[in-house]
């Protein structure tokens, strides 16, 4: 069987069409759904209508989309793609997406799998333009070289991958649900332990801690000669029970600005915005990185150690009490929510004495140890399944496996 090397633009009816450039002021309550980069998940599926936006404007033919079109992100989630199936409602796509329409001799599903393969993604990474954010234009996409078999083989490969990735995706969904159940168990264990203390007077957090705002990320900032480049934490780094340091960015700011946004050991990191259920999530900073700053979307709550333990405060941010408070007081937009330093200061904290706080933290940590180990195991399984999924796609679309005899490769325990 002969495979040929071709460029993406020769497999499509054009060299890529940019989406519609509209501002949030043009959003409407109904009309055409505007598909944005944020509406496409990591597996190339359209997210639910929750948070969807619409425009009530006439569409030019170039901004119309139909089943079989491939949308590729050119900014932010660069390289992420989505193959359009039957649309539930009239839709168009936003300017940070590029539309490619495969020719009749190109199977759209095969093309979408090619776009998800390691080789295609590596080609994007090698040629990406990096400034404040990564971006990749239509011309660069159009000129990526891909290996293509005859149409019948494209369809066989696509059929195989449809079945095998669906198996893997079901396993991932099961593991994700199991992690959600562990989150519910964690919440229950923390609530139960604190409730067992009985009635405890509450104190406004602002009387117990100083809330420090972080540095604003501004690509246009003019720094004088007395500037420093330091690591800083973003919202993505702050999880409910730990700090994720796999990707830590750096920022150059005046030394005086750095001094007001520097983290100290014992600070409780709390997030300003994001998903509604994650507002105010907190974790203790133990000085994992020297001279580290924090972004303005992350608050550093600095407890008065004479009154409250950092670990106790971090646990409180994970309780039902905290969830209800931050969800009810958060400012909500179409698909995001935010809190503020004043609302963090207004949070009412049940305040037992310091020995009781320490004993409670020790008790809860011991009860959560097994839960944390189970959650880590599920996390590693999801990572392995995700890696296997892409490896399978890459092997199939490059002819490394014979899909006629490779049935069941997606099966795993």
The residues spanned by each domain of the chain are 4-148, 152-199+353-413, 201-351
pLDDT at 148: 95
Per-residue pLDDT, averaged over 3-14, amounts to 94
Per-residue pLDDT, averaged over 96-124, amounts to 94
First to last CA, the chain: 34
Both structure tokens of 282: 């907190």
Q: Report the C-alpha gap between 230 and 261 in whole angstroms.
A: 11
Q: What pLDDT, in 10s, does the model give residues 40-84?
A: 988 888 888 777 889 998 888 889 999 999 999 988 788 899 999
Q: What pLDDT, in 10s, does the model give residues 229-272?
A: 999 998 888 887 788 898 888 988 888 889 999 999 999 998 88
pLDDT score of 225 more than 90:
no
Per-residue pLDDT, averaged over 101-113, amounts to 95
- The SS3 assignment for 55 reads strand
Lowest-confidence region among 64-73, 210-219, 350-359? 210-219
Give the DSSP H/E element, type plus range, for residue 172. helix 151-195
pLDDT score of 221 more than 90:
no
What phi, psi does 211 have (nearest 5°)?
A: -105, 115
Q: Report the C-alpha gap between 309 and 304 in whole angstroms.
A: 8
Both structure tokens of 184: 């519910």
Q: Which CATH number fits domain 4-148: 3.90.220.20, 3.40.50.450, 3.90.950.20, 3.50.50.60?
A: 3.90.220.20
pLDDT band at 218 (very low <50, low <70, confident <90, very high): confident
pLDDT at 412: 45
Q: Report the C-alpha gap between 166 and 172 in whole angstroms.
A: 10
pLDDT score of 146 more than 90:
yes
What are the strands, taking DSSP E only, across 190-341?
202-204, 209-212, 227-233, 249-254, 268-271, 273-274, 282-284, 293-294, 298-303, 331-332, 337-338
> Strands 91-93, 4-7: parallel, antiparallel or unpaired by DSSP?
unpaired
Q: Report the C-alpha gap between 319 and 202 in whole angstroms.
A: 14
Q: What pLDDT, in 10s, does the model give residues 269-309?
A: 988 876 666 777 789 999 999 999 999 889 999 999 999 99
Q: Report the C-alpha gap between 318 and 315 in whole angstroms.
A: 5
Q: Can 4-148 and 201-351 be said to share one CATH topology?
A: yes
Give the DSSP H/E element, type plus range, for residue 121. helix 118-127
The number of beta carbons lying within 10 Å of the beta carbon of residue 99 is 24
- The SS3 assignment for 394 reads helix
pLDDT at 132: 46
Both structure tokens of 400: 């490394």
pLDDT band at 97 (very low <50, low <70, confident <90, very high): very high
Q: Report the C-alpha gap between 62 and 79 in whole angstroms.
A: 21
Assigned fold of 201-351: Adenine-n6-DNA-methyltransferase TaqI; Chain A, domain 2 (3.90.220)
Q: Report the C-alpha gap between 97 and 136 in whole angstroms.
A: 10
């Amino acid at each position: 069987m002969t495979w040929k090397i071709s460029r993406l633009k020769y497999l499509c009816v054009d060299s890529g069409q940019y989406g519609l450039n509209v501002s949030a002021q043009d959003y409407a309550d109904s009309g055409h759904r505007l598909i944005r980069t944020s509406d496409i998940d990591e597996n190339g599926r359209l997210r639910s209508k929750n948070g969807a936006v619409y425009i009530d404007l006439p569409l030019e033919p170039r901004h119309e989309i139909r089943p079989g079109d491939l949308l590729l992100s050119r900014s932010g989630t660069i390289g992420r793609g989505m193959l359009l199936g039957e649309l539930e409602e009239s839709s168009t796509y936003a300017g940070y997406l590029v539309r490619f329409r495969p020719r009749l001799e190109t199977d759209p599903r095969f093309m979408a799998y090619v776009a998800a393969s390691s080789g295609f993604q590596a080609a994007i990474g090698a040629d990406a333009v990096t400034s404040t954010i990564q971006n990749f234009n239509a011309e660069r996409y159009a000129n990526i070289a891909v290996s293509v078999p005859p149409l019948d083989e494209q369809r066989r490969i696509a059929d195989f991958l449809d079945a095998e990735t669906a198996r893997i995706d079901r396993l991932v969904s099961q593991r994700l649900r199991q992690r959600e159940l562990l989150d519910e168990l964690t919440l229950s264990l923390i609530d139960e332990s604190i409730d067992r203390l009985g009635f405890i007077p509450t104190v406004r957090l602002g009387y117990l801690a100083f809330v420090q705002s972080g540095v604003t990320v501004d690509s246009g900032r003019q720094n004088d000669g007395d500037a420093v480049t330091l690591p800083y934490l973003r919202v993505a780094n702050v999880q409910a029970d730990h700090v994720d340091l796999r990707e830590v960015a750096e920022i150059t700011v005046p030394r005086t600005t750095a001094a007001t946004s520097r983290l100290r050991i014992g600070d409780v990191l709390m997030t300003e915005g994001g998903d509604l259920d994650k507002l105010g999530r907190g974790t203790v900073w133990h000085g994992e990185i020297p001279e580290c700053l924090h972004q303005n979307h992350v608050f550093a709550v600095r407890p008065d150690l004479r009154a409250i333990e950092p670990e106790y405060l971090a646990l409180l941010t994970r309780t039902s009490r905290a969830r209800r408070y931050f969800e009810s007081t958060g400012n909500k937009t179409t698909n995001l929510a935010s809190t503020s330093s004043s609302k963090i200061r207004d949070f009412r904290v049940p305040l037992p004495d310091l020995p009781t706080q320490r004993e409670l933290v020790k008790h809860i940590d011991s009860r959560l140890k097994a839960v944390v180990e189970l959650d880590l195991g599920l996390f590693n399984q999801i990572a392995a399944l995700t890696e296997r999924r892409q490896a399978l796609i890459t092997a199939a679309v490059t002819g490394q496996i014979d899909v006629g005899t490779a049935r069941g490769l997606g099966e795993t325990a």
